[in-house]
Structure 1
Amino acid sequence: MKWKLRKCPIDGTYTLKDNCPICGSKTIVPHPPRFSPEDKFVKYRLEMKKGRKLNC
């Protein structure tokens, strides 16, 4: 499913367009990714969020 709502990371404006109508920057999808218990990459995302280096 493609999300239609988008958010400008610079000024926080919500829009349906790919570019912000106010500042012209590229918008992002504000929705979090879906949760899956079989997620193979959760360890990597948590380490990136905490700012630690991975021990592989």
Structure 2
Amino acid sequence: MTTMVTLHGGPLDGTSTPVDPDDPDPWVAVICDGCAFPGGRSVYAPDGSGRWTWVRDLPWEAM
């Protein structure tokens, strides 16, 4: 089962993406045109309040 979350900060600020609330690894890496690395991912994670915030961009080879 997935739930939609709104992403805050970074290149995807204000967009929504599905996440699995039961996933033991609560991170989401999303391919986007605004990522600092061509072909890389923008990484978001829930903060202490449950708000999904931008953490960093990762190049493809670091995934």
Q: TM-score range by the shorter chain?
A: under 0.3
TM-score of the superposed pair, with normalisation by structure 2: 0.26
Structure with higher helix content: 1
Higher RCO (CA-CA < 8 Å; seq separation 6+): 2
Q: TM-score, normalised by structure 1?
A: 0.27
